[in-house]
């Protein structure tokens, strides 16, 4: 093989690797299929109402996403205040996840960072990997593995709350806004009157659940919560994503 042929073979590989260089604050999630959602009967007996049912996460199915990047940690107060210095929210300590921001503010921050909010499907793959695990660490619930207490902690402080891709705090700390509207899954039999574009999906376990009667089901990675995009909840924050 002559030198020109070798050059033409190597240069695209080098450029391709450079183009996919992982941003320092983000994790690369490869494209492809993963197990989305829950099996029928996996959660219903423990849930209290239609709003907290697990049926909105059925049927479990293989779902394909394109490759993307996602923030390793939840967006912190100090990061958010660079975007909105006059934010009049309850101030947190540096390194704590921002919370009490609306979906619109979370979306605006991500765009300001030349990123975007993750879809709920991207969020779930980042958390569960490809083996369908129920929690970031596996299938057995261990409450101490994630921050499910009464107050937030610094991001990345729970080493066991780390997904197969090394994304932190997906099971605990604060719940997170996603880009997705609250809609039925493909081939779903369950019909929720709340389905529609007026509500956005929130994912992830969160602090303060004990005040509502804590159940481990709230921390299961397929659990889908939802809210109007204007709401500012003190247990909800966000992280950003970016197409690869």
Domains of the chain, earliest start first:
25-243 (3.90.1580.10)
Mean local confidence (pLDDT), 76-105:
87
140-154 average pLDDT score: 91
Give dist(CA 231, CA 132) in Å, integer.
31
In the structure, what pLDDT confidence band is assigned to residue 36 with cuts at 50, 70 and 90? very high
Instruction: Band the pLDDT of 201: cuts 50, 70, 90.
Output: very high
Give residue 110's pLDDT. Answer: 98
Question: For a pLDDT cut of 90, what percent of the chain falls above it?
Answer: 68
- State both tokens at 111: 């765009």
Per-residue pLDDT at 97 exceeds 70: yes
Q: What is the pLDDT at residue 71?
A: 98
Confidence of residue 241 (pLDDT cuts 50, 70, 90): very high
In the prediction, which pLDDT does 149 show?
87
Token pair for 6: 């070798």
Distance CA 108, CA 238 (A): 12
Q: Which residue has the higher pLDDT, 111 or 94?
A: 111
Q: Whole-angstrom distance between the N-terminal and C-terminal Cα of the chain?
A: 33
Has residue 91 got a pLDDT over 50?
A: yes
**Residue-level pLDDT at 12:** 40
Q: Name the pLDDT band for 197 (thresholds 50, 70, 90).
A: very high
Over range 149-167, report the average pLDDT: 95
Q: What is the pLDDT of residue 205?
A: 87
Residue 220 has pLDDT above 70, yes or no: yes
Q: Residue 213 pLDDT more than 60?
A: no
Task: Give the CA count within 13 Å in the CB-facing half-sphere of 70.
Answer: 30
Q: Is the pLDDT of residue 107 over 90?
A: yes
Closest CA to 200 of 222, 224, 225, 182: 182
Question: What is the Cα–Cα distance from 158 to 185, expressed in whole angstroms?
Answer: 31
Asked if residues 151 and 207 have their Cβ atoms less than 8 Å apart, the reply is yes
List strand residue ranges (DSSP E) for the chain, in order: 26-29, 32-36, 61-65, 68-71, 175-182, 196-203, 224-227, 236-237, 241-243
Q: What was the pLDDT predicted at 102?
A: 96
């Amino acid at each position: 093989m002559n030198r020109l042929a070798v050059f033409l073979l190597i240069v695209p590989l080098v450029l391709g690797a450079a183009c996919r260089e992982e941003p320092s604050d983000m994790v690369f999630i490869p494209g492809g299929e993963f197990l989305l959602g829950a099996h029928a009967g996996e959660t219903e007996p423990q849930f209290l109402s239609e709003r907290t049912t697990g049926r909105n996460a059925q049927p479990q199915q293989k779902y394909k996403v394109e490759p993307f990047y996602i923030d390793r940690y939840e967006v912190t107060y100090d990061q958010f205040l660079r975007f909105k210095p006059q934010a009049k929210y309850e101030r947190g300590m540096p390194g704590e996840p921002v919370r009490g921001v609306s979906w619109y503010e979370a979306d605006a921050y991500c765009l300001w960072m030349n990123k975007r909010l993750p879809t709920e499907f991207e969020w779930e793959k980042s958390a569960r990997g490809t083996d369908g695990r129920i929690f970031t660490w596996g299938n057995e619930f261990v409450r101490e593995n994630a921050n499910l207490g009464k107050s937030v902690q610094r991001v990345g402080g729970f080493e066991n709350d780390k997904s197969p891709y090394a994304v932190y705090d997906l099971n605990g700390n604060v719940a997170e806004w996603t880009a997705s509207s609250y809609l039925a899954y493909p081939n779903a039999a369950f019909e929720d009157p709340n389905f529609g574009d007026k509500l956005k999906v929130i994912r992830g376990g969160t602090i303060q659940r004990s005040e509502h009667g804590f159940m481990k089901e709230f921390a299961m990675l397929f659990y889908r919560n939802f809210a109007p995009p204007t709401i500012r909840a003190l247990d909800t924050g966000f992280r950003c994503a970016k197409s690869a």
